[in-house]
């Protein structure tokens, strides 16, 4: 299990990005309303699914829905072959409660993560 370290984008000039090769289950620390962006890079010739799942995420009651939605299985993000996806973490904050685990359908090292914050 690897913790995905955040690269700060504050300051002037170029920034060296800290990347993390995927393991069976990785973690990250989410800071709400800080414009964190998670980069997910697929280094394989096939599509992979990444699941972002906070241990405290269970159900939500969206306005105008008239009920609850189960989010306990996490947010699944598909990443195409040799593609890179950027995820604005504030846009999926409901899934990021508690300890945040990131799992994927590939084997260790097939995905590369980078977390950016301002």
CATH of the domain at 91: 2.60.290
Angle (CA) 80 81 83, round 5°:
65
d(CA 83, CA 68): 33
pTM above 0.85, yes or no: yes
pLDDT at 39: 97
Angle (CA) 5 80 76, round 5°:
60
Residue 82 in domain:
yes
103 has pLDDT over 80: yes
What is the tally of structural domains in the chain?
1
pLDDT at 1: 75
Three-state DSSP class for residue 103: strand
Residue 1 in domain:
no
Q: Which domain holds residue 61?
A: 6-11+19-117
Q: What is the mean pLDDT of the chain?
A: 93
Residue 104 in domain:
yes
Residue 90 in domain:
yes
**pLDDT tens for each residue of 13-57:** 999 999 999 998 899 999 999 999 999 999 999 999 999 999 999
Q: Is residue 84 within a helix (H) or strand (E), and if so which, with residue range?
A: strand 84-88
- Residue 32 CB-density burial (10 A; 0-12 exposed, 13-18 middle, 19+ buried): exposed
């Amino acid at each position: 299990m690897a913790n995905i370290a955040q690269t700060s984008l504050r300051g002037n000039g170029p920034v060296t990005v800290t990347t993390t090769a995927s393991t069976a289950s990785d973690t990250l620390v989410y800071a709400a309303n800080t414009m964190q962006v998670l980069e997910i890079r697929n280094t394989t010739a096939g599509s992979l699914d990444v699941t972002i799942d906070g241990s405290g995420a269970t159900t939500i009651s969206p306005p105008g829905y008239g009920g609850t939605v189960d989010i306990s299985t996490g947010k699944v993000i598909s990443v195409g072959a040799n593609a890179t996806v950027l995820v604005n973490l504030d846009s999926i904050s409901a899934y990021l409660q508690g300890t945040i685990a990131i799992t994927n359908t590939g084997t260790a090292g097939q995905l590369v993560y980078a977390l950016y914050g301002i």
